[in-house]
Amino acid sequence: MLSKNQIFVVAAAALMILAGLVMPYWFSFLVTVALAKGLVVLGLVILMRAGLVSFGQGLYYCAGAYAVGAFSDYFQTDNVLLLVLVAIVCGLVISSIVGLLLSRYRDIFFAMFSMAFSMILYGVLVKSAALGSSDGFNVTKPSLFGWAAEFNGTNLLSYWVAIILACVAGAIIWRYMRSPMGMTGEAIRENEIRVEYLGVSVQKIIYIKYIIAAVLASVGGSITAMTVGHIDPEMAYWTTSGEFVFIALMAGTGHVAAPLIGAVIFELMRTFAFQLSPYTWQMILGIALLSIIIFLPNGLWSLTDKFKKGAN
């Protein structure tokens, strides 16, 4: 039996899927890319709840995208399910190796090491002629067993996949965050020594969280690659990772919906800021973030708590 909240999420997702048929292309494109980034931020939030800030999620975002691009190119396939699976495997393999080292570090060391790995990938890709060097390369549009979901000249498959994956990932992570494994993240943030003395390996828990965050980032990267149709090394550059941290701070870590909604708000804000002021749009974003940090230190999601308190 579905709860009220679950019915609401399913209904909202169904509505969004149907809305794709009538909404303008630019908006469905924006929402798709935003949800892809939202998935990366969702992973980042899992780490942040354990007291870790990664400035290197771009590593997995880019790796997932390149895995999709290289796989589809080499095997001449555009099957969306297969491509997302490839991205998941790619994120899983890389993070299970890198995580062995990173799970030993905390605070600024974790942040800097994660950024270093991301920048290593960036450097490798820029120097790889076979992968298009700094220009990157084009990625084929996805299909579902040959069905491209073309409506009024718009490919809606990526949009639908993004919505379904965001809902599925959101539901899984929602349950995870309420489980003993998920809650242990907050315990680690609060007091690592106590967690060790309760008989659990903090390093192992962080390692698992790191892998989950990496897989989410890879999936986000795969959606972006299929939606934009082009990938380049900028996806691993530190500013891309910084953007994810920006969204996480702006949205807050209070709920799994926060990063997904926050990413949509961020993309809308950036689009309109760019339209308003093409040369100083970053300043508008900066002012917005500063205002949120000052007036809503726990992010936009904390507004929901204020509304709830107000209603009571």
Partner 1 sequence: MTALLETRDLAKNFGAVTAAADINVQINAGEIVGVIGSNGAGKTTFINMVTGYLKPSSGQILFDGKSVIGRKPREVMRDGMCRSFQVAQLFPELTVMENVLIAQSLAEGKNLSFFSPMHTPAREEKARAILKEYEILEYVDETIATLPQGVRKLLDIAMAMLSNPKVLLLDEPTSGVAIEDKFDLMTTVMAAVKKSGAAVLFVEHDMDVIARYSTRLLAFYDGRILADGPTGEVMRDKNVQTLVVGHHLDMDELEGTNNA
Q: List residues binding partner 1 (CB under 8 A).
A: 175-176, 178-184, 186-187, 190-191, 193-201, 205
Closest among 145, 169, 150 to 81, alpha carbons compared:
145
State in angstroms the smallest separation of the CB of 303 from partner 1: 20
State in angstroms the smallest separation of the CB of 199 from partner 1: 5
Query: CA–CA distance from 209 to each of 53, 176, 232 (Å)?
Result: 12, 10, 27
Measure the CA–CA gap between 186 and 184, rounded to whole angstroms: 5
State in angstroms the smallest separation of the CB of 181 from partner 1: 4
Q: State which residue, 20 or 182, has the beta carbon closest to partner 1.
A: 182
Q: State which residue, 147 or 197, has the beta carbon closest to partner 1.
A: 197
State in angstroms the smallest separation of the CB of 88 from partner 1: 17
What would the two tokens of residue 195 be?
A: 């967690």
State in angstroms the smallest separation of the CB of 265 from partner 1: 27
Residue 251 · residue 41 · CB < 8 Å: yes
Q: State which residue, 278 or 308, has the beta carbon closest to partner 1.
A: 308
- Beta-bridge mates of residue 150: 155
**φ/ψ (deg, to 5) at 298:** -95, 15
**φ/ψ (deg, to 5) at 137:** -155, 165
Q: State which residue, 175 or 306, has the beta carbon closest to partner 1.
A: 175
State in angstroms the smallest separation of the CB of 178 from partner 1: 5
Helix (H) or strand (E) holding 151: strand 150-151
State in angstroms the smallest separation of the CB of 173 from partner 1: 10
State in angstroms the smallest separation of the CB of 184 from partner 1: 6
Q: State which residue, 145 or 197, has the beta carbon closest to partner 1.
A: 197
Our CA dihedral for 203, 208, 210, 211, rounded to 10 degrees, sits at 140
Helices (H), the chain: 4-19, 25-49, 58-75, 80-102, 107-126, 157-178, 180-190, 192-197, 202-228, 238-251, 257-276, 281-295, 302-311
**Terminal-to-terminal C-alpha distance of the chain:** 28
Q: State which residue, 184 or 302, has the beta carbon closest to partner 1.
A: 184
Q: State which residue, 126 or 177, has the beta carbon closest to partner 1.
A: 177
Q: State which residue, 152 or 312, has the beta carbon closest to partner 1.
A: 312
Write the CB contacts of 57 (distance below 8 Å, at least 6 apart in sequence).
40, 43, 44, 114, 118, 213, 214, 217, 241, 244
Measure the CA–CA gap between 212 and 52, rounded to whole angstroms: 14
